[in-house]
Amino acid sequence: MFHLLKNLLASKDDKKTLKAEEDFDALVNEVQADAEDLEKLAEHIEDEFEGLDMEVQAIQKGVDEIVGDER
């Protein structure tokens, strides 16, 4: 309510300033949301690499066993 009254009473320059502040706040919110999305993506990628590392280790163990059996 106060925000609406403030907008009605604001001068033209004040309205531009308020609009710029609102745009800036919206941009900050977008950047924060993008940062959160990137953090989640980084965690997902890290989990995938851990899973792949475990698979590589299992394959290497199997290769070592096969090579060891042939010697």
pTM value is: 0.57
Query: DSSP character for 35?
Result: H
For 1-71, list the strands marked E by DSSP: none
Q: Alpha-carbon distance 23 to 16, whole Å?
A: 10
What pLDDT band is residue 27 in, cutting at 50, 70 and 90?
very high
pLDDT at 40: 98
pLDDT at 56: 96
18, 24, 25: which is closest to 7 by C-alpha? 18
Q: Alpha-carbon distance 57 to 60, whole Å?
A: 5
